[in-house]
Amino acid sequence: MKIFLRYIFICFICALFIPVAAKAQFENFKDSVVQLYGVVMTADSLQALPSVSVVEKLQGRGTVTNNQGVFSLVVLKGEKVEFTSVGFKPKTITIPRDIEGNQYSVLQLMVTDTVYLAATIIKSRPTREQFERDFLKTNVPADDLEVARQNNDENRRRVLMASLPRDGREAANKYLSQQSAKYYYAGQAPPQNIFNPFAWADFIKAWKRGDFKKKN
């Protein structure tokens, strides 16, 4: 029972001090919050810069300037704020920790960033002979229609048929055709093409086409 009463007493004491500590912590946090506002302008002509990104670097919170270059952002004392815009060098400022009050104004000037382009070589106009020479030497890649036309050439098809391996369907059809011929002549001697006039006609045509010539 005494232990229970002691536990209740400790909880009661904690309940008295927790609001005080929370209030003190809130006051410290409230004192560190700063309303940052100001104007962003060009350094050379003092023109207002719209759409400049104003970002607090620690947590990534930010805003952009309006058409008059004005911005407003809630930050903490001691935080760093970065100003970035296309065509200008980025600028980073630090919010002072010892400022009085909860407002801080800045007039931020942005310096133009130098952009270096690649060197351009200007040459004189070519003569008619130089233009014709370069035009004739230009290698124009073949389009899909020309590639298809070249692949349908008879000699090209023979080379492709001789060099490309058979795919799965062709190999299966060839195997089934051989098995069918084997079973068709099962129990008897298969015919010899040496006595087949149609086979001789196909042989003569292939010989005239040059199918049996040695290919390099």
Is 33 among the domain residues? yes
pLDDT digits (tens, 9 = 90+) for 110-142: 999 887 778 888 878 888 888 888 888 887 777
Residue 210 has pLDDT above 90, yes or no: no
Q: Comparing C-alpha atoms, which of 134, 132, 121, 81 is closest to residue 104? A: 81
| Residue 95 domain boundaries | 2-110
Is 117 among the domain residues? no
pLDDT digits (tens, 9 = 90+) for 41-62: 999 889 999 999 999 988 888 9
State how far the Cα of 27 lies from the Cα of 25, in Å rounded to an integer: 5
Position 82 scores a pLDDT of 95
Where a domain ends, among 64, 89, 110? Answer: 110
> How many domains does the chain fold into?
2
Residue 216 has pLDDT above 60, yes or no: no
Strand order in the sheet with 70-76: 70-76, 33-42, 103-110
Q: Which helix (H) or strand (E) holds 139?
A: none
Q: Tell me: do 106 and 170 sit in the same domain.
A: no
Is this model's pTM higher than 0.75 or not?
no
Residue 22 has pLDDT above 70, yes or no: no
From the number of C-beta atoms within 10 Å of its C-beta (0-12, 13-18, 19+), residue 136 rates as exposed
Is 60 among the domain residues? yes
- CATH number, domain of 55, equals 2.60.40.1120
If pLDDT is split at 50, 70 and 90, which confidence band does 69 have? very high
Where a domain ends, among 110, 129, 150? Answer: 110
Determine how β-strand 70-76 pairs with β-strand 33-42: antiparallel
Residue 161 has pLDDT above 50, yes or no: yes
